[in-house]
Amino acid sequence: MSHPEEDLGELEELDAIVDVLVDSAPPGSHDQERRHSITSDEEDALSAAGAIAVLRRGLAATPELRQGVVLTLALAVATALGKLAVPILIQQILDRGVFGKDGYRPGFVAAACCGAAVGIIALYFISRATFLRLVRSAEASLLGLRVRTFHHIQRLSLADHVEQRRGALVARVTSDVETLAQFTEWGAVAWIVDTVLIVTTVAVMVVYSPPLAAVAVAVFLPLLPALGYLQRRQLAAYDELRTAVGGTLSEVSELVTGASVVQAYGLQRRTRRRLDRAARTQYKAQMGAAKWFAVMFPLSDFFGALALATVISVGALNGPAWGLDLGKLVAFVFLVNLLLGPIAELSEILDQTQTAIAGWRKILGVLATPIDVTEPENGITLPTGPLAVDFEDLRFTYRTGGEVLRGINLHLPAGAYVAVVGETGSGKTTIAKLLCRLADPTAGTLRVGGIDLRQVAPESRRSTVRMVPQDGFLFDTTIAENVRVGAPETSDAAIQSAFDSLGLGGWLEDVPGGLHAPVGERGGSLSVGERQLVALARAQLGNPGLLVLDEATSSVDPKTEQALSEALERLTAGRTVVNIAHRLSSAERADLVVVVDNGNVVETGTHAELVAAGGTYATLYSSWLGNTRVLRDD
Amino acid sequence: MRRGGALLWLSVRAQAGPFALAIVGATLFAVMAVVGTVVIGRITDKVIIPAFEEGGVSNRAVALAAAAVIGASLLRIVGVVLRRYFGQMAQRRMQMLWFKRVTDRYLAVPLSWFDDQPTGQLLAHADADCERSTIAMQPLPFSIGVLIIIIVSMTLLAFVDPVLLAVAVCLFPGLALINKAYTKRVEGPAAATQARVGDVSAVAHESFEGTLLVKTLGLEAREVARLKEKADQLRQERLIVGRLRAGFEPGLDALPSLGTIALLWLGAGRLASGAITTGQLVQAMVLFGILAFPFRIVGFLLEELPRAVVANDRVQQVLVAPKRLLPTTTVALPTGPLDVVLDAVSFTHGPDAVLRDVSARVAPGEVVALVGATGSGKSTLCSLIAHLIDPDAGSVLIGGVPLPETDPVEFHRTTALVFQESFLFSDSVRENLSLGDDIDDDVIFAALDIAKARSFVERLPHGLDEKLGERGVTLSGGQRQRLSLARALLRQPRVLLLDDATSAVDATVERAILDGLRHSVAATTVIVAHRISTIALADRVLMLDGGRITAEGTHHELLAQPSYAALVRAYEQAPL
C-alpha cells in the first residue's frame, strides 16, 4: 500500500494551489473560487464568428499560410492533368489511332502513348516538389502559430489561467494545432485538388459534348446534398459514440480509482451491471455509426452507376446526332468514374474541416484574449533591504467572477512579519497574487517600497518580491536545477550554501544524489514538505526584500515539519514577510495579523490584541484551541 | 505474424455468425465488381460501337445495358453493406468481449494490484487496447474480397488476351511492393511524430502547471524556448513523413496511369489485328482501375496485425493478474457488537515491512484511536481489518471469525471503512449514499445529520438528486468527507473504521461530527487520528511506530511517554 496520508497531503496542496492558479480535476476544498474556473472552458471571443470569419482571421494570424494556397493550386492542377491524361488518351487513340479515317496508325499510337507517359512522369515530379514545398510551408506556419500561442498563454494573467482549464490550454498548443496540421496537409489540399479535378473533368466533358456533359452533371447533382445529409447523420452518430465511449470510460475510471470503495462495500455486482450497461450503450452507438458508414460508399457507387447508365443510353441513342465519336463516348465512361472519387472525398473531409475550424477558432480565441499585465518601459528598480507595502483602496474582480477584494487599505511596515488569515474564499490568496503582480488590481494601487508595483522593472520585481508557493511545484529535473531556475548562472556552491544557511545541509545530505538528485515529474519523488524546502532554498538565493509565503494547508510529517519551520525562521529574518497563513501558530508569532473576510480587511493588530478584542479572529482562535490544546493543558 | 494469425482466428471463431455474413458480403462485392467490368466491355461491343454504325442501336439493347449497369451496382451495394455492417458487428462484439474480460478481472483482483498501475493505463487497457485487439478484423473481410477480385480478374484477363494479362502481372505486384516499402519506411517516422507530439504536450503541461513559478521568476522566455525546441523537432519529423508522402502519393496515381497507357499501346495493336474487341480493351482498362486500390487494403491488414497483437498482449497481461481468494466455506458472524482481534499480524509491501507482528484487541463497542507518524502503518492496519488486503503472517478475526472465512456479503454489511481520500461516484448524492440499495430518505437524512452533511445537501439545488462530479457540482474536500462518512453510517455498521476520515473538515464541524458519533453509533470503532480532538474521542489509544505498536493506553496515560508527547506536539502544529 502507498501511504495515503501523504497522498492526501499532495492532493490538498495541489488543490489549494489549483484554486489560486489553474483549474484541474475535482477533489476540491475551495468551491467558491472554483466556480468561475469551470465556466469558460471553450468560450472565447470568437465563438460566434462563422467559418469564413475564422478563415480570414486565421490567415491574418498566420500569414505564412497564404503561400500555401498558391502552392496547393499548383499541386491541384498537376494532379488533375495527370488524372485526365488517361481518358483523353483513350479518346485520341480510339478516334484517331484505330478507328479514324486512316485506320490503324501505329506511329500515332506510339507517339501519343509516349507523350502521355512522359507527361505523367513529369507531372509526378512536379506534384512531388509542390507537395514537399507545401508541407514545408505548412509546418513552418504551424510552428510559428504554436509558439506564438504558447507565448501568448504564458503572458496571460493568472486570472486567465484560473478561468480556463489547464488541460484546455495545453490542448490549444497541442491537439488544436495538430488538427490544423492534419487539415492543412490533407483536408485543405483535398478541398482544392478535388474542386479543380471536378471542374477540369467537367470541362473536358463539355469539350467532347456539351449536352452529354450536362446530362452527366445533372445526374450527379443530387449526390452532393445526399452525401451531405449522410455526413451530418454520420457526424451525429459519431458524436453519440464519443459520448458513449466517454460514459464507458468514466465507469471504468470509477471502478479503477474507486477500487477501494468498490471492494470495501462489496459493490462488484453493481459495478458489473453499470459496466455492462455502458458497454451495451457503446456497442449500440458503434452500430449506429456503422449503419451510416455502411451506406456512405454505396451511395456514390449507385450514383456512379446511374450516371454511367444515363450517359451510355443517352450517348448511344443521340451520340451520332450530337456529333459524338466512339472514342469520346468511351472516354465519357472513364470521365464519369473520375468524378466519383473527388465528390465522395469532399463529403468526407467536411467533418475534418469542421474540426479544424473549431480548433482554429479556439486558438484564435486564446490569441484574442488580452494580456492584462504589461511590463513598463524603463521600469523603476526597487531598493534592496526590507520593503514596506501599501494597499490603497485595492479592488480585484475576476473576469468571469464576482469581486474578490472589495477595497483594501493597509500599511505593512518594512521588515514586519505579517500573517494574513481568513477562511477559504475570503480573498487572502488573491492578495498574494497581487503582491507578485500575477494580476493587476481592478482598482486602487499597490505600492511596494513606496513605488506602484506597475511601475517596477520586471527583473527588479522578480528578484525583490519572492513568493514561496504552497504546492512547491518543481520542474522534472534535479534539485540544483530547480533552485537555479530564474538565475541560471548560480554555481553549485552557491546553491549548497543557500541550503546550508537555512540549516538544510543535513537534509540535503540524506537525499540520495544530493543536489543532483532528480525530483521526478512535478517533483513527485520528493514529499510535499521536501518540495517546499527546495522552494525555500530558491527564495533564499534570490535574497528578496519582500517574501510572500503561501502556507501549506495539509500536514507534513513531523521531521520535515521541523526542518521547514527552522528554515522558514532563518529565511524570513530581516525581510518583510506576508504569510498567507493557514496555521494559527504562524499568526501567534506575527508582528501584525490581518484578518480578511469576504474581500474586506475586518481586523488588524497583534495576536494578543485581536484575541482580547473578541472578534472574528478570537472565534477562529478559540475553535482552534479547542481542537489542539485543551486536552494537553488539563 | 503467426501470433497475429492466431489472434485473428480466435476472434473470427468467437464471432462466427456476423463474420460469415461479412465474408458473404465481401465475396458478393468482389464478384460483382469484376462482373461490372465485363458489363462495361459487353456494352462497348454491343451498344456503343453499333450506335456509331449504320442503323444505330435498338432501344431494347440500350435499356438492357442501363439495367445491367444499375443491377450490378445494386448487387455491389448489397455486398458492401453486408460486409461493412456485419464486419463492424463482429469487431465491436469482439471488443465488448475483451472489455468484459478485462473489467471482470479489475473487479476480481486484490486491491494492492491497483497500487502500481497508473490509472491512465488501466483505462487504456479497457478501452483502446480492447479496441486495438480487434482492429485487424476490420480489413479482413475486404482483404478476402480483394484476393477474390485478383484471382477472378487475372483469370478473366487470361481468357481475354495473354498480352494484357502480362501487363497486369508486371504492374500490380510492383504496386504492392511499393506500397509495402512505403508503409515500412513511413512507420518509424510516423511513430516518432507521435512521440514528438507527446514531448510538446509534456512541456506545455509542465509549463502551465508551474505557471506560478514561471511568472514569479520571469521564466517565460525560457519556457517558450523549451517549447520551440520540441515543436521544431516535431516539425522536422513531420517533414520526413511529408517527404515520403510527397514521393508516394502522386506515385500511387501515376503508376496505374502508366500501366493503363501501356495497356492502350499494346491493346491498340491487338485491336487493329483483331485479336481482341474494343469492349475487351475497355474492360481491361476498367479492371486496372478497380485493381489499383485494393492492394492497399491488404497492406492495411498486414499493418494492423502486429499492432493488434501488441495491444492484445497488454490485455492478456491484465487477464493473468491473480484474483482475490474467495472463501470456500463461510462461517456466520455472531449477533451484537463484535470485537476485532489482530493476532501476530505482519504485512510487507515491496521491500518494506509495513507491519511487524502486531497483536491487539478492540473490545465490542470500544473506540480505539490509532496514532503514529506518516508511514507507521495506520492505514494498512485499517485495510487489513476491512479485509481489503490479507496479512502475510498472522490473522485478523472479527467476532472470533478469521476474515478469510467470513461471508463477503455479510462482512460488507457489517464493517465500513471511511477513507481519507473520499471517493464519490459521478452520480447523484442519493446514489452515492445508497450505492444502489433501496434506502428510505429518513434513514439517509439521519446519517447525514450525524455526519453534519444534511444542511449543505439540502442547500443543493436538487438536494439528494444533485449530480456530483464531472458533469455535476464540485464539493469541497470537507463536504466529500462528510458524505463518505454518511455513506458508512447509513449501513449501521457494527465495525466502523475511520481512516483520518475528517481531516478536511473544519475543526468545529469535526467536533460536532465526533460528538454525534459518540452518542448515536454503537459500533466497535477504530479511528486513525491526526488531531487531538479526534484522539480525545477514543477510549484507548494505540501508538504505531515503524510497524509495531509501541504504546497503548488512554491519552492521559500516554502523555507520560516522551515519544507520544513529541508526536502530540507535532500534531499541535497541524493546520486549521
Please report whether residue A541 resides in a domain. yes
- The owner of cell 522558514 is A568
Reply yes or no on whether the pLDDT at B300 is more than 70: yes
A&B contacts, CB < 8 Å: 482
pLDDT at site B208? 84
Which residue would you say has higher pLDDT here, B340 or A363?
A: B340
- Assess contact for B308 and B134: CB atoms under 8 A: yes
| A15/B374 CB distance under 8 A | no
Tell me which of A40-54, A159-173, A429-443 is least confident. A40-54
| Chain A CA closest to residue B92 | A283
| Grid cell locating A219 | 445526374
Q: How confident is the model at residue A12 (pLDDT cuts 50, 70, 90)?
A: very low
Please report whether residue A612 resides in a domain. no
Write out the H or E segment, with its range, that includes residue B562: helix B562-572
| Chain B CA closest to residue A266 | B412
pLDDT at site A68? 73
Distance (Å) from the alpha carbon of B147 to chain A's nearest alpha carbon:
20
Characterize the bridge pairing of strands B352-362 and B367-372.
unpaired
Regarding whether A559 and A463 lie in a shared domain, the answer is yes
| A313/B575 CB distance under 8 A | no
pLDDT at site B472? 57
Arithmetic mean of pLDDT, B118-131? 86
> Which among B40, B106, B268 is the nearest to A97, CB-wise?
B268
Q: How confident is the model at residue A494 (pLDDT cuts 50, 70, 90)?
A: very high
Q: How confident is the model at residue A19 (pLDDT cuts 50, 70, 90)?
A: very low
pLDDT at site A80? 87
Amino acid identity for residue A531 in this structure? R
Write out the H or E segment, with its range, that includes residue A490: none
Distance (Å) from the alpha carbon of A511 to chain B's nearest alpha carbon:
18
pLDDT at site A633? 37
Long-range residue pairs from B196-201, CB within 8 A, at least 24 positions apart, any chain: B196/B230, B196/B233, B196/B234, B196/B237, B197/A174, B197/A178, B197/B234, B199/B230, B199/B233, B199/B234, B200/A146, B200/A173, B200/A174, B200/B227, B200/B230, B200/B231, B200/B234, B201/A170, B201/A174
pLDDT at site B209? 79
| Grid cell locating B287 | 479492371
For residue B128, give every residue at least 6 positions away whose Cβ sits within 8 Å of its Cβ, in sequence order, or none.
B311
Contacts of B108 in chain A (CB under 8 A): 268
Characterize the bridge pairing of strands B352-362 and B340-349.
antiparallel
> Which among A8, A94, A270 is the nearest to B436, CB-wise?
A270
Distance (Å) from the alpha carbon of A563 to chain B's nearest alpha carbon:
12
| Residue (of B239, B250, B248, B245) closest to B192 by Cα position | B239
Amino acid identity for residue B202 in this structure? A
For B461-491, write each residue's pLDDT tens digit: 888 998 886 555 667 777 888 899 999 988 8
| Grid cell locating A580 | 498567507
For B394-439, write each residue's pLDDT tens digit: 999 999 999 989 988 888 888 988 887 778 887 889 988 988 888 8
Query: What is residue B118's three-state secondary structure?
Result: coil
Contacts of B435 in chain A (CB under 8 A): 265, 267, 270
> Which among B216, B491, B576 is the nearest to A624, CB-wise?
B576
Gap between the Cα atoms of A117 and B256, Å rounded: 11
Arithmetic mean of pLDDT, A453-477? 85
| A266/B419 CB distance under 8 A | no
Which residue would you say has higher pLDDT here, B415 or A354?
A: B415
Gap between the Cα atoms of B126 and B315, Å rounded: 8
Regarding whether A432 and A366 lie in a shared domain, the answer is no
> Which among A117, A150, A282 is the nearest to B261, CB-wise?
A117
Please report whether residue A555 resides in a domain. yes
Please report whether residue A85 resides in a domain. yes
Please report whether residue A305 resides in a domain. no
Query: How remote is the C-alpha of B187 from its chain's centroid?
Result: 24
Regarding whether A119 and A28 lie in a shared domain, the answer is no
- DSSP per position, A457-498: -HHHHHHHEEEE-TT----SSBHHHHHHTT-TT--HHHHHHH
CATH value at residue A564: 3.40.50.300
Q: How confident is the model at residue A591 (pLDDT cuts 50, 70, 90)?
A: very high
| A290/B59 CB distance under 8 A | no
| Chain B CA closest to residue A151 | B224
Task: Describe the strand order of the beta sheet including B495-499 as a list of residue ranges.
Answer: B415-418, B495-499, B524-528, B367-372, B540-545, B548-553
> Which among A12, A110, A486 is the nearest to B477, CB-wise?
A12
Regarding whether A539 and A395 lie in a shared domain, the answer is yes
Reply yes or no on whether the pLDDT at B103 is more than 90: yes
Regarding whether A413 and A520 lie in a shared domain, the answer is yes
| Residue (of A553, A547, A540, A462) closest to A495 by Cα position | A540
Task: Choose the mutation target among B261, B278, B535 for the interface with A, i.e. most A CBs under 10 Å.
Answer: B261
Contacts of B566 in chain A (CB under 8 A): 558
Gap between the Cα atoms of A329 and A216, Å rounded: 12
What's the number of CA atoms in the CB half-sphere (13 Å) around residue A245? 18
> Which among B122, B231, B576 is the nearest to A143, CB-wise?
B231
Distance (Å) from the alpha carbon of B508 to chain A's nearest alpha carbon:
6
Gap between the Cα atoms of A54 and A353, Å rounded: 12
- Cα R_g (chain B), whole angstroms: 36
Task: Give the residues across from A408 on adjacent strands.
Answer: A394
| Grid cell locating A449 | 517600497
For B325-374, write each residue's pLDDT tens digit: 777 788 888 888 899 999 999 998 777 788 999 999 999 989 999 988 77
Q: How confident is the model at residue A623 (pLDDT cuts 50, 70, 90)?
A: low
Q: Which domain holds residue A414?
A: 389-602
Regarding whether A366 and A393 lie in a shared domain, the answer is no
> Which among A6, A245, A462 is the nearest to B218, CB-wise?
A462
Mean pLDDT for all residues in chain B: 86
For B527-570, write each residue's pLDDT tens digit: 987 777 778 778 899 998 888 898 889 888 888 888 888 777 66
For residue A493, give every residue at least 6 positions away whose Cβ sits within 8 Å of its Cβ, in sequence order, or none.
none
Q: How confident is the model at residue A565 (pLDDT cuts 50, 70, 90)?
A: confident
Contacts of B563 in chain A (CB under 8 A): none
Please report whether residue A335 resides in a domain. no
Distance (Å) from the alpha carbon of B162 to chain A's nearest alpha carbon:
20
| B204/A169 CB distance under 8 A | yes
User: Structurally, how many domains does chain A consist of?
Assistant: 3
Regarding whether A498 and A365 lie in a shared domain, the answer is no
Task: Tell me the three-class secondary structure of A421-454, residue by residue.
Answer: ECCCCCCHHHHHHHHCCCCCCCEEEEEECCEEHH
Regarding whether A584 and A467 lie in a shared domain, the answer is yes
| A290/B88 CB distance under 8 A | yes
Query: How remote is the C-alpha of B487 from its chain's centroid?
Result: 28
Contacts of B84 in chain A (CB under 8 A): 290, 293-294, 297
Regarding whether A365 and A394 lie in a shared domain, the answer is no
Q: How confident is the model at residue B259 (pLDDT cuts 50, 70, 90)?
A: confident
What's the number of CA atoms in the CB half-sphere (13 Å) around residue A539? 32
Q: What angle do CA A29, A31, A36 make, to 5 degrees?
A: 140
| Grid cell locating A251 | 465507469
Taking the CB of residue B22, how many other CB atoms lie within 10 A of it? 29
Q: What angle do CA B47, B51, B57 make, to 5 degrees?
A: 70
Reply yes or no on whether the pLDDT at B135 is more than 50: yes
Regarding whether A71 and A24 lie in a shared domain, the answer is no
| Chain B CA closest to residue A291 | B85
Arithmetic mean of pLDDT, B229-238? 93
Regarding whether A397 and A361 lie in a shared domain, the answer is no
Write out the H or E segment, with its range, that includes residue B344: strand B340-349
Query: What is residue A501's three-state secondary structure?
Result: helix
Distance (Å) from the alpha carbon of A574 to chain B's nearest alpha carbon:
21
Regarding whether A363 and A393 lie in a shared domain, the answer is no
| A1/B383 CB distance under 8 A | yes
Contacts of A536 in chain B (CB under 8 A): none
CATH value at residue A365: 1.20.1560.10
| Chain A CA closest to residue B114 | A256
For B484-528, write each residue's pLDDT tens digit: 999 998 888 899 999 888 777 766 677 778 778 877 777 899 998
Q: Which of A305, A338, A370 is the last residue of a domain?
A: A370
Please report whether residue A247 resides in a domain. no
> Which among A28, A106, A154 is the nearest to B214, CB-wise?
A154
Gap between the Cα atoms of A168 and B373, Å rounded: 39
Distance (Å) from the alpha carbon of B44 to chain A's nearest alpha carbon:
8
Tell me which of A141-145, B84-88, B424-428 is least confident. B424-428
| Chain B CA closest to residue A106 | B269
Please report whether residue A273 resides in a domain. no
Distance (Å) from the alpha carbon of B436 to chain A's nearest alpha carbon:
7
